[in-house]
């Protein structure tokens, strides 16, 4: 579990070097809501830089993988999803389409840090089908089971989302390196 790790290295993909994080600049409709997202897998971060540049339509030749050290999680309210399960599925879906799962985001509002698998580009189609009742009624056990099997959770990488200034105060910028777009 990531929460048990002390002095852990985390990676963030970006178009720029991010030495200081401003939560106001972070997207609000990501897997765990508004926050600063990182991973323990630098290769995942490198792939994300390349994918983001391609999707942006901008003529960028490179981006950056920013490297941080998370000192510890002491004094923070944390939640780490232990599995890609109904709870994770509904959390991710709620932050993307809150109207389908009313009040679901409320139960996650108090956390400084959330950790779990990343719903990457390969999972978005599955989530869309689930939310459109393509596997059955949203929330039904059969629809949940079908969606989770389709997600292939064993292939998903992790993500760490820092949601508050208090959480960011435990993050130390170490370095950044350039990743060529192609």
* CA 3/CA 174 separation, integer angstroms: 20
In CATH, the architecture of 2-180 is Alpha-Beta Complex (3.90)
* CA 25/CA 16 separation, integer angstroms: 13
pLDDT tens-place values along the chain, 182 residues long:
676 667 789 999 998 899 999 999 888 778 899 999 999 999 999 988 988 787 777 788 889 999 999 988 889 999 999 888 999 998 988 887 777 777 888 889 899 999 999 876 667 788 889 988 999 998 899 999 999 888 877 777 899 999 999 999 999 999 999 999 87
């Amino acid at each position: 579990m990531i929460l048990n790790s002390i002095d852990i290295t985390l990676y963030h993909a970006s178009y720029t070097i991010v030495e200081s994080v401003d939560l106001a600049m972070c997207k609000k409709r990501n897997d765990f809501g508004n926050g600063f997202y990182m991973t323990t897998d630098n290769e995942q971060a490198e792939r994300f830089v390349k994918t983001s540049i391609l999707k942006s339509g901008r003529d960028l030749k490179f981006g950056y993988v920013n490297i941080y050290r998370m000192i510890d999680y002491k004094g923070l309210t944390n939640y780490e999803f232990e599995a890609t399960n109904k709870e994770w599925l509904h959390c991710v879906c709620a932050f993307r389409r809150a109207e389908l799962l009313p009040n679901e985001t409320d139960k996650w509002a108090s956390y400084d840090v959330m950790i779990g698998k990343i719903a990457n580009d390969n999972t978005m189609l599955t989530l869309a089908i689930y939310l459109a009742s393509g596997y059955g009624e949203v929330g039904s056990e059969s629809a949940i089971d079908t969606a989770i099997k389709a997600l292939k959770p064993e292939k998903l990488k992790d993500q760490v989302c820092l949601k508050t200034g208090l959480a960011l105060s435990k993050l130390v910028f170490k370095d950044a390196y350039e990743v060529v777009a192609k």
